[in-house]
Amino acid sequence: MEVVKPVKRNVLLNPGPATTTDTVKYAQVIPDICPREQEFVDIMTEVRKELVNVVHGDPEKYTAVIFTGSGTIIQDVCVNSLVPENKKMCVVNNGAYSARMVEIAENYGIPCVNLEFPTTGLPDLEVVKKTLAEDNDIAVVATVHHETGTGVLNPVREIGKIAHDNGCVFVVDTISTYGLRPIRIEEENIDFLMSSAQKGLAAMTGASWTVGKIEEIKKSKNYPKRSYYCNLYMQYDFFERIGEMHFTPPVQTIYALRQAIKEYRAEGEQARWERLSKCWEAIHRGLGEIGLESVIDKEIQGRLVVTVKAPDDERFDFSKLHDYCYERGFTIYPGKMFGLKTFRLCNLGQITYKDIEDFFVVAKEAFQEMGYTIPINA
């Protein structure tokens, strides 16, 4: 892949979109093509196959169904399409992204048992077990693999086991782990997972997909059609019969996604995970040097997001910190935790531990600009 001209590189430490390679950026520059052409249908077919492959899905059992939109569209699709008539969904909710699935269910008028747990810890599996055992109307259990709002990694394999023991379909938002942490879909007891191009695969915003059980998609044909554009079965059926999306696909985004998958393959699942783990270690090292702490216990973090406790004094100003870093090519992000002053550092994209070390040089300067000496509590 030829890069015509390098683009200014920004290190994105926000929770997606992620830093991309120039080769992925330039993969979007292609001759105009009508997506109904066989050439594009072939690309779609190849990309769908690869998306199942990334999570080691058996192609006899699992398929990928892509939609045009940001990550939330695939939450919308899974929630509105997979709950049978007169049945309920149960959300194991310990963060902002599971809360979003509850909101989606409420918007469609789908009965939803919202099992809320503290956002700083893991869900209580005994409560999940008891709830599913006592309520036979629950047909779908949904949760988030890695709560991007906090950095907590949820025990999906265990939740999936409980869901299956109770005859429920298990749906997992893996938007901030897919293509980052190795996932084996069947071993994790996942029937449907979700992902989005601008996160783990470090491609462009505009394409999101589920990798799901073919058998369950076929069953959903007879479930209530709560959305026209976002119905899973309708999109699946179009892909299977015609080989393409029902409506106009995000053409250039798909080319970038195809390139990003190639780069994922070239790097290798394990090598990518090690690179990102090193970034995460470097974040903790840098925070330690400044004298800052993470809100979430290290043992339950997914190694992709660190929620940082902001200093509790009047010198700290998030927007000053943000602007100082932003002007020097590093983007950081506010926290998403109720009632706590926090900010987040995320290591999702095409970055290395060296970028993190460079970031902390700049971050330390920013703290000094705000009037601190480093370490800040000394």
Contacting positions for ligand PLP (CB under 6 A): 15-16, 70-72, 97, 144, 148, 173, 175-176, 196, 199
Angle, CA 118 vertex, CA 128 and CA 377 arms, to 5°: 150
User: Which residue in 91, 119, 95, 93 sits closest to 105, CA to CA?
Assistant: 91
Shortest separation between residue 53's beta carbon and ligand PLP, angstroms? 21
Residue among 57 and 71 whose Cβ is closer to ligand PLP: 71
Shortest separation between residue 173's beta carbon and ligand PLP, angstroms? 5
Residue among 122 and 366 whose Cβ is closer to ligand PLP: 122
* DSSP 8-state symbol, 220: G
Sign of CA dihedral 113, 139, 240, 224: negative
Shortest separation between residue 73's beta carbon and ligand PLP, angstroms? 7
Sign of CA dihedral 28, 31, 34, 39: negative
User: Which residue in 123, 180, 151 sits closest to 294, CA to CA?
Assistant: 151
Shortest separation between residue 196's beta carbon and ligand PLP, angstroms? 5
Shortest separation between residue 6's beta carbon and ligand PLP, angstroms? 27
Name, in order, each residue with C-beta under 8 angstroms of 306's C-beta and a sequence gap of 6 or more. Answer: 151, 280, 283, 284, 287, 294, 296, 344, 345, 346
User: Which residue in 121, 117, 91 sits closest to 104, CA to CA?
Assistant: 91
Shortest separation between residue 279's beta carbon and ligand PLP, angstroms? 17
Residue among 286 and 302 whose Cβ is closer to ligand PLP: 302
Shortest separation between residue 15's beta carbon and ligand PLP, angstroms? 6
Residue found by looking up tokens 């997506």 in the block: 35
Question: What is the per-residue DSSP string for 116-156?
Answer: E--TTS---HHHHHHHHHH-TTEEEEEEESEETTTTEEP-H
Residue found by looking up tokens 């200093």 in the block: 311
Q: Rounded to whole angstroms, how far apart are CA atoms 323 and 367?
A: 12
Residue among 97 and 223 whose Cβ is closer to ligand PLP: 97
ω before 375 within 30° of 0 (cis)?
yes
Q: Which residue is nearest to ligand PLP (CB)?
A: 71
Residue among 141 and 144 whose Cβ is closer to ligand PLP: 144
Residue among 99 and 290 whose Cβ is closer to ligand PLP: 99
* DSSP 8-state symbol, 370: T
Task: Identify the bridge partners of residue 89 per DSSP, sorted by sequence position.
Answer: 112, 140
Residue among 91 and 376 whose Cβ is closer to ligand PLP: 91
Residue among 205 and 277 whose Cβ is closer to ligand PLP: 205
Shortest separation between residue 334's beta carbon and ligand PLP, angstroms? 14
Q: Which helix (H) or strand (E) holds 62?
A: strand 62-68
Shortest separation between residue 176's beta carbon and ligand PLP, angstroms? 4
